[in-house]
Amino acid sequence: MTHHIVIVGGGAGGIELATRLGRSLGKRGQARITLVDGNLTHIWKPLLHEVAAGSLNSSEDELNYVAQAKWNHFEFQLGRMCGLDRQRKIIQLQATLDEDGSELVPPREIAYDTLVLAVGSTTNDFGTPGAAEHCIFLDTRQQAERFHQLLLNQYLRAHANPEHSATEQINVAIIGAGATGVELAAELHHAARLLAAYGLDGIRPENLRLTLVEAGPRVLPALPERISVPVHETLEKLGVTVLTGSPVSEVAEEGLCTADGQLIPASLKVWAAGIRAPRFLNEIDGLESNRINQLVVLPTLQTTRDEHIFAFGDCAACPQPDGKNVPPRAQAAHQQASLLAKSLKRRLEGKPLLEYRYRDYGSLISLSSFSAVGNLMGNLTGDVMLEGRLARWFYVSLYRLHQMALYGKFRTLLLMLSDRLGRSTEPRLKLH
């Protein structure tokens, strides 16, 4: 019987792995590849802040799993994993409901020979009172689109009542000054200018009050200080209020409170601080997990208690030689997907598995159309600091590399041409 590889999670890493394995093992009939995801479409998660601001129309940049499976010799199953039986080597999927709450796809089981978990991560609100009730998270396309609609609704309401334009304000608070929070703040400032340019000037650009709140001592705490300093300065030049060393103690409908008692008024609140793996992974059928639900894996990316189950990306705690875990970044998931595509082929051939070693190629932070800041690291470049147009070009190229892994070079070039042509016929901001 053909070896069955089941990949759960169609995020950046999962869809790249399914595509690579489909083109190699699936096409040659050496293995049956199945991708499982709770959605029908994929969008690159680092772009969700642009969806929230309206800078990106998600329906135009989405990838359809059913079509991708057909083109690349793998299967797709719609569903969300809710259980695991390691003895029987099956995963359990919960029922999928339609928009009316009726059962679309019943609960079912899928058998596997090799299981790969790539279910990503969700935002960690650290149990902060009121966060789950009053904040919007940017874990999914649906959440990003909901934020955009709420923001646009306030502009449309003000546009219909022009007599209030002089005083109408929107207060937006973003908790967490990591990459997502910083990029969202800059993108929203850009969106405010575009909304006014398109005639929705009931709220002036300067009346979109943006506050970025960070518990740590500086913005972008996970990146070098020489990157965070110019980013902080640029945000302040854009009019963003940046509060560092200000952990949030409570979130209410009218705003949020910091640990030192400061009240920050906000009608829209986005929580962008911290990550954790999905709750269902916590010690699922005896697999080892850590305090943020990540599955503990070996350098081969196999789980510590089952050699037939692999995990990678944000949902996996993979050790590095220095004792720290691989950081939850898109480049790590991309590297791990590439390694697993080789390792799983070697596994079928009875060869030893490859071990993963994280290589940091640098970090790039986009500040919308205003700038980009970051550094590139490599054998040829060393550690090079980038800023401005060049950094922005490299930032955009990261998404193009993801597209090339999924579509190939020729189709990616066609997508780039289509994007260029679309700029002359479509608004620069989603207005619905």
CA 140/CA 43 separation, integer angstroms? 9
Q: What is the pLDDT of residue 169?
A: 87
CA 180/CA 43 separation, integer angstroms? 15
How many Cα atoms within 13 Å fall on the side-chain side of residue 127?
1
Task: Tell me which residue of 24, 6, 28 sits closest to 113, measured CA to CA.
Answer: 6
Pairing of β 295-296 and β 103-105: unpaired
Task: Tell me which residue of 238, 171, 169, 156 sits closest to 204, measured CA to CA.
Answer: 169
Yes or no: say if 355 and 362 are a contact pair by the CB < 8 Å rule.
no
CA 230/CA 213 separation, integer angstroms? 17
256: its two tokens: 């949020």
Q: What is the pLDDT of residue 382?
A: 46
User: What's the Cα-to-Cα distance from 161 to each of 54, 154, 430, rounded to whole Å?
Assistant: 23, 11, 22
| pLDDT single digits (tens) 348-369 | 999 999 999 999 887 778 887 6
CA 24/CA 30 separation, integer angstroms? 8
Q: What is the pLDDT of residue 384?
A: 64
CA 409/CA 352 separation, integer angstroms? 31
Q: What is the pLDDT of residue 432?
A: 74
Task: Tell me which residue of 234, 184, 170, 253 sits closest to 213, measured CA to CA.
Answer: 184
CA 357/CA 338 separation, integer angstroms? 12
297: its two tokens: 């894996």
238: its two tokens: 């854009």
Specify the pTM: 0.91
| DSSP 3-state of 394 | helix
The amino acid at residue 354 is L
Yes or no: say if 204 and 167 are a contact pair by the CB < 8 Å rule.
no
Burial (CB count within 10 angstroms: exposed 0-12, middle 13-18, buried 19+), residue 323: exposed
Residue written as token pair 């079912």: 108
CA 280/CA 420 separation, integer angstroms? 42
Task: Tell me which residue of 361, 308, 311, 360 sits closest to 336, measured CA to CA.
Answer: 311
Residues counted in the chain: 432
In tens digits, what is the pLDDT along the chain, a chain of 432 residues?
Answer: 899 999 999 999 999 999 999 999 999 999 999 999 999 999 989 889 999 999 888 877 889 999 999 999 999 999 999 999 999 999 999 999 888 889 999 999 999 999 999 999 999 999 999 999 999 999 999 999 999 999 999 898 888 876 655 567 899 999 999 999 999 999 999 999 998 888 887 788 889 999 999 999 999 998 888 889 989 999 999 999 999 999 999 999 999 999 999 999 999 999 999 999 999 999 999 999 999 999 999 999 999 999 999 999 999 999 999 889 999 988 899 999 999 999 999 999 999 999 999 998 877 788 876 667 776 655 444 466 666 666 667 777 888 888 898 988 988 898 888 877 766 667 777 777
Domains of the chain and any CATH numbers: 4-121+277-348 (3.50.50.60), 131-271 (3.50.50.60), 362-422 (no CATH)
Q: In what order do the strands lie in the sheet with 382-387?
A: 362-367, 371-378, 382-387
| DSSP 3-state of 90 | strand
Task: Tell me which residue of 234, 229, 49 sits closest to 221, measured CA to CA.
Answer: 229
Task: Tell me which residue of 59, 26, 286, 270 sits closest to 147, measured CA to CA.
Answer: 270
Q: What is the pLDDT of residue 379?
A: 46
Task: Tell me which residue of 324, 215, 329, 344 sits closest to 271, measured CA to CA.
Answer: 215
Q: Both ends of the chain: CA-CA distance in Å? A: 50
User: What's the Cα-to-Cα distance from 319 to each of 298, 322, 354, 355, rounded to whole Å?
Assistant: 7, 8, 15, 11
User: What's the Cα-to-Cα distance from 123 to each of 180, 183, 262, 296, rounded to whole Å?
Assistant: 11, 16, 24, 19
CA 227/CA 230 separation, integer angstroms? 6
Angle formed by the axes of helices 330-348 and 12-21, nearest 10°: 30
Residue written as token pair 């208690």: 305
CA 117/CA 7 separation, integer angstroms? 6
CA 18/CA 203 separation, integer angstroms? 46
